[in-house]
Amino acid sequence: MNNEQEIRNILIKELGLADLPEEAQNEIVTKIGGIILQSVTLGILEKLPQDAREEFEVLSKEGDNERIQEFLELNVPHLYDIMQEETARVVESFRAAQNKDIKSE
């Protein structure tokens, strides 16, 4: 199983989407995944020194995910903590919105 599939499975479990049709699962996971990616990117940029930000922008434009990963691991202390924190924050926000919708019905 690749990382994307693992992340998808985690999101489906954490968000309680297992009973939804696959198409609905895909739509929600795609939207939430995009929000998580934006959130993680902002968290990373806040931790990068200015000179490293410029290099990060160049690498991002090139699109070499392996080099980007290596760069981030070298330049962002606690990278995986940031990723986990931002993912948890987005998932919790989604859950809170779900609960609010359920209560207002």
Query: Domain limits of the chain?
Result: 3-104
Q: Helices in 48-78 by DSSP H: which ranges?
A: 50-62, 65-75
Euclidean distance between CA atoms 72 and 28, whole angstroms: 27
Euclidean distance between CA atoms 55 and 13, whole angstroms: 36
- pLDDT per residue over 12-63, tens digit each? 888 889 999 999 999 999 999 889 888 988 888 888 888 899 999 899 899 8
Query: Quick one: what percent of the chain has pLDDT higher than 70?
Result: 92
**Residue 71: predicted pLDDT:** 93
Contact 12, 25 (CB under 8 A): yes
Tokens encoding 25: 């699962």
Contact 58, 32 (CB under 8 A): no
